[in-house]
Amino acid sequence: MTGRAKNNSKKIGGLERWKLSSQLLFVYSLAVFLPLVIIGSFLITTVSSTQKKYYSDLLAGSNDAVKQTIYEITTQIFTISDSIVYNDSLIDFLNGTYENKQEMLVAASRTTILDRYAARYAGLDGIYVYIDREDMVDYGQFHKVTDEIRGSDWYRKASEQYIPFWMAYESVDSRNTNKTWNLFMVRKMVLVGGEREAVIMIRVRDSYLASRLTNSRYTTLIAIDDQPVAFGSIKSLYGTKPEVEIDYNDPAFSYAGEVDYHGKESFVRVDTLPLSKSVNKLYLISYDTEAIGEIRSGVRLSILILLAASLLPLVILSLFTRRFTVQVKSLREEMGKASRGEYRDMKEELWGSEELAEAFKDLQKMVHDIQRIEAERYEAQIKAQNILNDQQKIEFKMLSSQINPHFLYNTLETIRMKALAAGDTEVANATRLLGKSMRYVLENTGTKDTTLQKELEHLKVYLQIQKLRFGDRVNYEITVSEGLCAEDYKMLGLLLQPVAENAIVHGLEGNESGGMVKIDVHESGEQLVIDIIDNGSGIDGEELAELKERLNSYESEDRTDSIGLYNVNRRIKLSYGSEYGVKISSEKGVGTKVSVIIPKLPKI
C-alpha cells in the first residue's frame, strides 16, 4: 500500500516532482522556444512569400517597361517605313529607265531619303532596298535581288504578302568577319505603274536597344515568334532558342515562375507583345538570377537570428539555473545541518538572490528560536528537577518528623482506650481525631491520587482538631455545590489541609472568638474550585503582591513550612499544568480567600 501511494504521488506530482533545472527548461520550451519557433517560422514564411512577390512584381514591372520601349521603337520604325515605301522620289528611282550604269548610279546618289532617315533616327542601323531588275547595280543601300536572295525565306515571305513582318536575322559586316544577330523589319514596297517589286529591310541598331532595354540586374531576351533570340543583354545568347517553354499558339501567353537558368535558380517572366500592324508577336523574356539567392540569404539570416534569439536566452537561463541551483543546494545543506542539530557548522551568511538570502535569514531565526526553546526547556527541566528534589526533601522531612507514624498511631489508640475506660470522652474524642488524621497522612504519603471526598473528610478531621484546641476562635463550614458528587472525582492528596492550616495560623491569629473558615467546593467549566475563606485580619496590597510573587517563584528555597501554599501550588502545576494552581485574594480587615483550582478528573 505504501509503495503504491508513493508511485501515485509521483504521478500526481507531475511537473512539481521534477528538478528545478528541468522545470525551468520545460517552462522555457513552452513559454519562449516553442512560441519563438512558431512565430519565427510564420514570419520567415510570410517574409519569404512577400519577398518572392516583391521580386516577381519588380520583374513584371521591368518587363512592362521593356514592352513599352519595344512598342515605341517598332511603332516608330513602322511609321518610318510608311514614309519610305510611299516616297515618290524613291519610287521614281526604282521605276526609272537608265541608258547606262553610270546614269543609274548618279540617280541613286541623288536619292537620299534612306540616308536622311538613318541619320535622323538613332535606333536605325541601316535601311536596305532590294529590287528585282537586271540592270540594277549595288550602290549604298540599294541592292540587286540575286538568285541567292530570291531563294531566301525572308524574301519569299516578303514577296508573298504586303503586311510588314519582323525577324531575327544574322548579318555579316562589310569585311565578312563579324556575324551579328539583329532585329529587322521587312516590308514589300509597291511600285505603282511598274512591273518590278522591291523589298525594304530596316535593321534596328543593337546598341540602341541595349541602351534602352538593358538592366544591370536582369537578363533580358527578345524573340520573334518561334525564331532565335534577336536581342539579349548577354551577347552569347543571340541566335539561341529561349530556354523557357512557350506556348506559341496562345496569343496572349504569359508566364511567371522559377526556373533553373544556366545552373542557377532564377525568377523568370515571359510576356507576349503583338506588334502594331504586323502578324508577328514578340516574346519578352526576363530572368532575375539574384532574387532567389537574396531571398534564401535573408531566410538564412532570419534563421540565424531566430537561433540566436532562442539559444541566447537558453544560455542565460542555463547559467542562471546553474547559479540558482548552487544557491538552493547551499540552502538545502544548511537546512540539513539545522535538521541534524549541527548549528555550529552553519554558515553565518548565504550568498545568493534576495529571496534565498531572506529564506536563509528565516532559517537562522528559526535555529535561534529552537536553540532558545531548547535552552528554556533545559532550564525548565533543571528547575523541575530542583522542585522534585525539594518535594522529596519535604516528604523526607515529613516522614522523619512523624517519628514512626505506626508507633504513634498505636500509642494514641491505647491512650484513647484508657481515656474511655476512665470516662474522659473529650480526651478520647481528641485522640480519635488525631489518630484518624495521622492514618490518612500515613496512607497518602508517597501516593499520587485520592478522591475529593476523602480529602474533604481529612480536612474536616483537621478542623475538628483545631476546634478542640481553640474553641470559639476557630469555627468551620464545608459546602459542596448541589449536584457535585465529591466521591466521583480524584485529586492529589494532602492539598487542602495546608491551605486550611495557613488560614487558621495566619488568618485567625488575631481573633479571640468568632473565627470562621469556610470551605466552598464548586464546578467552573472543566475545573473544580475549592475556595478556603477566612474572616481574619486580611493582607494589605503590598504584602499580598509579595506573597503572590513568592507563590509563583520557580526558585528552590529551603522552606521550614514545607507543606505550605508554595508546595501546594507547585504540586498542582507540575501535575496538572500551568493553568491550574492556587489563587489568593484578600482585603485588609475583612479576610482572605485562597482558591485551589484543579481539573475535573473522574475517578476510574
How does pLDDT run across 391-404, given as a tens digit for each residue? 666 555 554 444 45
Whole-number pLDDT of residue 320:
77
Whole-number pLDDT of residue 505:
86
Share in percent of the chain as helix, strand, coil (round to 5)? 55, 20, 25
Whole-number pLDDT of residue 232:
86
Whole-number pLDDT of residue 395:
56
Euclidean distance between CA atoms 246 and 225, whole angstroms: 10
CATH number of 449-602: 3.30.565.10
**Nearest C-alpha neighbor of 276 from the set 124, 72, 122, 83:** 72
Whole-number pLDDT of residue 354:
67
Euclidean distance between CA atoms 122 and 207, whole angstroms: 10
User: In this structure, what C-alpha cell is assigned to residue 265?
Assistant: 535558380
Let me know if the fold of 57-289 is the same as that of 449-602.
no
Task: List 521's β-bridge partners, or say none.
Answer: 480, 530
Q: Which residue has the cell 546614269?
A: 103
Euclidean distance between CA atoms 59 and 38, whole angstroms: 31
Q: Is 171 helix (H, G, I), strand (E, B) or coil?
A: strand
User: In this structure, what C-alpha cell is assigned to residue 184?
Assistant: 529587322
The CB density around residue 537, as the number of other CB atoms within 10 Å, is 18
> Does the pLDDT of residue 197 top 90, yes or no?
no
User: Under 8 Å CB-to-CB from 280, ≥6 apart: which residues?
Assistant: 165, 166, 167, 224, 225, 274
Whole-number pLDDT of residue 484:
94
Percentage of the chain with pLDDT > 70?
86
Residues 492, 451 contacting (CB under 8 angstroms): no
Euclidean distance between CA atoms 270 and 293, whole angstroms: 21
Domain borders along the chain are 57-289, 449-602
Euclidean distance between CA atoms 60 and 264, whole angstroms: 20
| pLDDT tens-place string over residues 462-518 | 899 888 888 889 999 999 999 999 999 999 988 999 999 989 888 887 788 889 999
Cα–Cα distance list, 59 to 52, 136, 216, 217, 253 (Å) = 10, 50, 12, 10, 16
Residues 391, 567 contacting (CB under 8 angstroms): yes
Q: Tell me the average pLDDT of the chain.
A: 82
- Can you say how many angstroms the Cα of residue 216 is from the centroid of all Cα atoms in its chain? 52
- Can you say how many angstroms the Cα of residue 286 is from the centroid of all Cα atoms in its chain? 52
CATH T-level topology, domain 57-289:
Beta-Lactamase (3.30.450)
**Nearest C-alpha neighbor of 497 from the set 461, 550, 547:** 461
Mean pLDDT across 264-284: 90
> Does the pLDDT of residue 161 top 70, yes or no?
yes
| pLDDT tens-place string over residues 28-56 | 777 777 888 888 888 888 888 999 999 99
Query: Containing H/E element for 11?
Result: helix 2-13
Alpha-helical (H) ranges within 86-185 are: 88-95, 101-110, 113-120, 147-150, 153-160
> Does the pLDDT of residue 405 top 90, yes or no?
no
C-alpha R_g of the chain: 66
Confidence of residue 417 (pLDDT cuts 50, 70, 90): confident
